[in-house]
Structure formats: C-alpha cells, structure tokens
Structure 1
Amino acid sequence: MPEMIWMEEELRALASEARERTLRDTDAVPGRPGYVRRGGRILLNLSSNDYLGLSQHPAIAEAIREALAAGCGAGSGASRLVTGSRTPYRELEEALAAWQRSGAALVFANGYMANCGVISALVGRGDVVFSDRLNHASIVDGIALSRAEHARYRHNDMAHLRRLLDKHKQARRKLIVTDAVFSMDGDAAPLRELVQLKREYGAMLMVDEAHSGGVFGPRGEGLCHALGVQADVDVHIGTFSKAFGLYGAYVSGSPTLIRWLTNKARPFIYSTALPPALAAGLLRSLMLVQTEGAHMRKRLAESSARFRADLREAGFAVGEGDSPIVPVIVGDNAAALRFSEALEAEGIAAVAIRPPTVPDGTARLRFSLSAAHTGEELADAAARIRDIGRRLGVLTG
C-alpha cells in the first residue's frame, strides 16, 4: 500500500539507530521460575519482574482451578458496571483494602489502565500534574489524556518540584505523581519529602508501587508502608504483574476516592472485567505475599545487594538503590544490544533497554532479580557479565 510507505521508512530509521524492537518467543520452564526457554535453550532469566518467584506457585494455580471448577467462568462477559461484577472481585478488593489499611480498593485490568484512568479522573483542564521526569510511560500518557498541564520536575529533585509548585500554586487542583521505585533505574522516590510538599501546597499525592509492592513493607504493602507515610498518600497504585506473579492492577484509598473512580475512570467503566478465576488466583497470591513473602523479601534484598556490589566492584556503572532492579549503563544502543546477545550466548537472558524507554545516550542492561534465584546462580552470572563486559570493551579496567 503506497500510503503506508512512511512506516517502512520510519522502521528503517529505527533499525539504523539500533532502536527497532521485535518479538521473540520466550517460554516458561515448569518448576523453574528463575529461568526461561528460548530457541531451544534454557536461560537464567535476569529480565523478569517476577520478584518473589510466585508466577509458578502451585497454590495460585490451584486457586484458579478451584474457581473454574466452581463455575465462576473463564470470562466475566461484561464491564463490572454492566453484568460483570462477580464475587471474586469483591473478595479481592476487601482483602486489598485490609492489607493496605485503606478504606477501599478497586481492581483494574492492568497498571497502564489504572494510571491512565486514575489521573484522567482526578484532574483536567485548569489543573496541574507534577510528575517526575523518570515516571513510567503509563503515567505520562495518563497526564496527556487528562488534558491537565504537565509540570515535569527533574528526577527526585525536590527543590525543582517546590519551584514548580510555587509557580502553579493558584491551580484549581494540584496532583503530585511518582513511581515509588523507578522501573529502569531501580532507585526510590523521596516519599517523605513528597509528603511534606503535598501538605504544604495542598496537593494530592499519587504513588505507583508497581515495582515496590510485594518487595518492601512488613507484609509486602510497598515502600509507602515501609517508610510509614501510607496515611498521607491519597492514591496508592499497585500491579499484580510483578511481585504477585499474575496480571492486573489495583487502586486503594478512601471510600470516596473509589466511588469517584467507579464513576469517572473510563478504563474501568468501559473495559470487560478480568477473568473471575484470575481474581481468585490474585486473592491467593495476596495471601502468599503476606505470609510466605517475608522470607522471600529477605532473600531478595540480600541477593540484590550482593549482585549490585559484585557488578560495581567489577567496574560497571551501576545505578543506585536497594531494589531488585540493577541497571548497568552502557550508553550506546548498538553496544547494549551486542552485550545482550553475548549474554544470551552464555546462558543469560538480559534485555537491552534503549530510547525512548530511557533517555538518549543511556542504553543499558536492566538486570531484574527474583527470590527464585540462588546466591550461587547470581554470583556465577555476575562473573559472566564481568567477563563479557571486558571482552566487549564495556569494561576497560
């Protein structure tokens, strides 16, 4: 089709800059959540967000089977506001609200829809959203959909945020939005300082715990609870696709907030509900996060600290933080791709992250660890990463 030629031209430009993405079949390895199968080979998986290794937990699979056998159905058949609101959702939301010690909770199809739906329901024209420059794309897109003014502050720069709040202090509504743990850098937001600014300027505060839920907090509630600031967070977002090992997302907050979102969050209103059996599996996963998750979180924290230290000692430019996300900055797109390919040849799955996901000139290997990995596996992986880095010239020392 001649009218589509522009696509081919743009794709060629992406390929020339080592920025084109392609899909590759990658299968689970039954009984080994820390590994994947690709091209007939089993690889150590250092790119997954399965932080607690729950994606293959037998109790979760059994809960889903039980729900299906009980006749709850493979699909909901409609939006929850039509005929699709089933008992498993209510039970899950009640358990989420109790876990978060909030008044209520609401389940969304995924984190992208949750962020887009919540932000566009809370603010609009005449309002201002103050957003960290490294926030997830779903937050950026939610702000665009809301039609509110987007005031981006430099990453974790509270002085810059204060200046922006001063500039827009007369705005009708002010919403501060941040990731708790940043997905491509692995560092944490200064939540205590954000709470202080929120109070001072009369703003709402929304925190996305996608990469910290299940990982931090006494019962895996997230970084807000770990720091004791949860009561000052107006909107708490979390996902089930990472530490929970499944799919979906939730919002927790006051009963008034949840009533408002039920009536105003378009991705919730106009989407068919998650499969009811999945909701039953999510409820089981939530119980595991709170019970079995304690020793998993301890092991994950220790493994992450050791792995980060090993790579830093080898001479890599490793991002700061204490999360299981350990980025190694390479810089050049093509060099990051070569590094990823060399790692796969050595039995390690580690994806090269390139612009626009990260800023230009900061292409990286984003290593993402799991409690399913043993200390020995990670020590061996760190040694292989070091050797390959030297061979490719990423390490020169």
Structure 2
Amino acid sequence: MKKLPLKLEKRLQKRKDDNSFRELPGTLPGIDFFSNDYLGFSKSKNILEFSNDVLKNSQNLNGSTGSRLLSGNHPLFERAENMLANFHNAEAALIFNSGYDANVGFFSAIPQKDDFILYDELAHASIRDGLKMSVARNYKFRHNDLEDLRLRLGRLPNTEASEIYVVTESVFSMDGDSANLQMLVKLAEELNFNLIVDEAHATGVFGKKGEGLLQELGLEREIFARIHTFGKAMGCHGAVILGSRQLMDYLINFSRSFIYTTALSPHSIASIFAAYRFLENDRTALNVLRENIQHFRSEIKKNALEDLFVKSESAIQSCIIPGNFEVKRISRELKEKGFNVKPILSPTVPSGRERLRFCVHSYNSRPEISEVLKLLANFV
C-alpha cells in the first residue's frame, strides 16, 4: 500500500507524543460507567421484540434502497415522525441519520449569508462542523454566560436583512451541566433571535416521560429548532429536528446531509418507534436512573470529591483530572478494580480540563456507585 504523506505521519506522531493517540477499543469488560446507554434500552429484549413486530408490516425489511427523496421514504418514516412530533409537542419532525448529520445539515442550510450565529464555546463538535459549512458569520460566547452573550449580541450590526441564531445544549456532553434555558428564552424574546437547542443528552433523562429538559420546563414551543438524538438514552440510532412545518420543508429542500444520503433502514426506524413507545408506557428505568444520579451526587459529597466534579444534575458526571497521563492512569486503576470509566483527553477537551467522564445508568447498582467513588477518592 502507498505510504501516508509525511505531514500526516507527523500529525499522528504528535498525538502519540502528547499521549492523546486514539485507538479503537477491543472488548470492554467491567462495570459500565462510560456508555451513553443511560436507560439500558440498547439491551432491552422488550424493545427488540416490539421493533420486530413493527417491522412485520414493512415492505422492505433490510434496507431503505435510497434517499428519502428517491426510493427510501418507506411508510415507517411518516409513522415515526408523527409519533415524535406528538411526543415532543412539536408542529413537525424530520428524522436524520444521526445527531451529527442533523447538526451539520441544519447549520449548513438554515443561516444565510447576512445572518449571524452565536454559539456556546463548549458546543458539540457536530455543531461546530455545521458552523464551518455555514455561509453565516459565527461567534462563540463564554460557556453558559448570558451576560457575555448579551454583550456580543449588542455588538452585531443592526440590519433588517439579518437573522440572528443562538445555539446551546440543554445538557452539555462533556461537563453534564445545563444552560439557563428560562433566561435564554426571555433573552430571545427581548432581543428577537432564533434559539436552537441540542437535547441529545437530555432525551430520555429529563421530563415527565423523558421528553427532554425543554419540555420539563414547558419551553418547547418557544424554541426555533430542537435536536434530539436516539443513540444515547433511547438505545438505538438516528436523530430528529423538531420545529415548524415550514422549517421541515426548508430542510427537505436545502439540507445536504438529508438530501444526499441513503435513508435509515426500516429496522432503524422501527427501533426508534419501539424505544419511544416503551419509554412512554414504562418509566421504571427512568425513575431508577434519576435515583441513581442523586445517589451518585450524594456519594461525591460523602467522599469529599465536590471540588473535582463539575456540578451536574444529569447522567453525565465529570471529574476534572488535569493531564492526559494522569487521567489515563486513574482510569486504568479503576479498570483494574473492575470499573470501566473513560478518560476524556485533550484535544477533545481543553488542556488542563481533562477528565473522567462518568455516565450513570439505570442498571448501575447503588453499591457499584458507592464503590467506584470510594476507589476514586483513594486514587486521586
């Protein structure tokens, strides 16, 4: 095979020198405190059986055969999108192949040349990549700092031709903390901007039925666009953008990550449908997850670890341990004791903000939570 260009070899070597070289893991033994499967839905036999029942009436069982604008718009899409719009109290819904595709497709299509986008500095990589593809000008504001956002909004030129978009996350993927959504909605009304909220890590965790943080707060109808993903708590794959019917029409016509890709298979859509129906009808896992999150927070305090953890009420609990070498060492020691907790290294997070990212699940037991934090207190 032809060798990799020298400049690419040097980039790889630098990753190794910085102790930040990424490799695909093999088998992952140990108690799971690292996956995004918050409710255990990825392993649910009930959801699998229900999705198989849904599939029985599907015309093409294995593949979608093309993009949704050609041959891939199988009947399950309409059924699932109607269900999602109803569940999330939205006018309309449009399914994308992944959360990454949804964010790239939205931000590369919606904001126009004369528009402005302001985004939280800790916004997910998929949002940032979408912004890189946008023709609109974009600026970051300090994490969860509404005064800084207000200041930056005030610096924008006041032109009638411009729309302003502000994007944040209801639960941030690396810190697990949340934006002040009530104040953001008030600010949007005051300053007349369009608010976009990514609910990837709030879906299936917040809300009476797991609808997300916006619906828990009763704010869903005040948001220009919401993005929910299915690869976390819902235990399957794909994503949905929620908003007005006109917004969906625009995305169908101009979002390249929607138009120019093979649609999700009937099996994928059946899994989404089944996971949501299970969540709506059985909240046992949701209730246990919430109890486990509270137990995790109480054990942080009990082990005098509060200064190391980012304050979070979500399923993501991040312990800041500066330095790639040090955070990998502690992760390795926990693994030797039977606990799988993944280190998050720079450059994924800023240098000095490396962390162990604990993911709490409905299937973690209280003794497991207590033990892993007791061990952590000894190792740090």
TM-score, reference length from structure 2: 0.95
- Whole-Å separation in 1 of the counterparts to 2:267 and 2:8: 40
Alpha-carbon contact 2:118-2:166 (below 8 Å) kept: yes
1:367 paired to 2:358: yes
- Whole-Å separation in 1 of the counterparts to 2:60 and 2:236: 18
CA deviations over 1:75-119 (Å, ceiling 9, x no partner): 101000011001111110000000111111010000000011111
Give the alignment of 1:340-355 within 5 angstroms.
Answer: 340-355=331-346
Structure 1 residue aligned with 2:146, among 153, 158, 164?
158
1:98 paired to 2:89: no
Alpha-carbon distance, 1:8 to partner: 2.1
Give the alignment of 1:383-394 within 5 angstroms.
Answer: 383-387=374-378, 389=379, 394=380
Alpha-carbon contact 1:308-1:318 (below 8 Å) kept: no
- Whole-Å separation in 2 of the counterparts to 1:237 and 1:301: 22
Alpha-carbon contact 1:60-1:282 (below 8 Å) kept: no
Q: What is the match of residue 33 of structure 1? A: none
Alpha-carbon distance, 1:148 to partner: 1.5
- Whole-Å separation in 2 of the counterparts to 1:201 and 1:262: 29
Alpha-carbon distance, 1:366 to partner: 0.2
1:254 paired to 2:244: yes
CA deviations over 1:264-318 (Å, ceiling 9, x no partner): 111011111111121111101011122213x322221221122133234323301
Alpha-carbon distance, 1:67 to partner: 4.7
Aligned length: 374
- Whole-Å separation in 2 of the counterparts to 1:345 and 1:3: 36
TM-score, reference length from structure 1: 0.91
Range moving further from structure 2, 212-221 or 303-312: 303-312
CA deviations over 1:120-147 (Å, ceiling 9, x no partner): 2210322111100011011111111112
Q: What is the match of residue 370 of structure 2? A: 379
Q: What is the match of residue 25 of structure 1? A: 26
Change (3 A) 1:173 1:116: same
Quick one: which amino acid aligns to residue 135 of structure 2? Answer: R
- Whole-Å separation in 2 of the counterparts to 1:13 and 1:313: 40
Alpha-carbon distance, 1:222 to partner: 0.4
- Whole-Å separation in 1 of the counterparts to 2:86 and 2:225: 15
Unaligned runs of 5+ in 1: 27-37
Alpha-carbon distance, 1:152 to partner: 0.5
Q: What is the match of residue 318 of structure 1? A: 309
Change (3 A) 1:78 1:85: same
- Whole-Å separation in 1 of the counterparts to 2:324 and 2:134: 33
1:287 paired to 2:267: no
Alpha-carbon contact 2:51-2:273 (below 8 Å) kept: no
Alpha-carbon contact 1:212-1:222 (below 8 Å) kept: yes
1:167 paired to 2:155: yes
Alpha-carbon distance, 1:344 to partner: 1.1
CA deviations over 1:11-48 (Å, ceiling 9, x no partner): 2211111111111123xxxxxxxxxxx3xxx3101011
C-alpha RMSD of the superposition: 1.5
- Whole-Å separation in 2 of the counterparts to 1:115 and 1:181: 15
Q: What is the match of residue 171 of structure 2? A: 181
- Whole-Å separation in 2 of the counterparts to 1:378 and 1:169: 51
Q: What is the match of residue 265 of structure 2? A: 275
- Whole-Å separation in 2 of the counterparts to 1:277 and 1:259: 25
Q: What is the match of residue 295 of structure 2? A: 306
Change (3 A) 1:169 1:58: farther
Unaligned runs of 5+ in 2: none
- Whole-Å separation in 2 of the counterparts to 1:352 and 1:131: 26
- Whole-Å separation in 1 of the counterparts to 2:81 and 2:260: 19
- Whole-Å separation in 1 of the counterparts to 2:157 and 2:210: 35
Quick one: which amino acid aligns to residue 296 of structure 1? Answer: A
Quick one: which amino acid aligns to residue 9 of structure 1? Answer: K
- Whole-Å separation in 2 of the counterparts to 1:352 and 1:257: 38
- Whole-Å separation in 2 of the counterparts to 1:166 and 1:129: 13
Q: What is the match of residue 41 of structure 2? A: 54
- Whole-Å separation in 1 of the counterparts to 2:222 and 2:157: 20
CA deviations over 1:145-193 (Å, ceiling 9, x no partner): 1121111010010000001111115251110101110010010111011
Range moving further from structure 2, 2-11 or 104-113: 2-11
Range moving further from structure 2, 57-66 or 187-196: 57-66
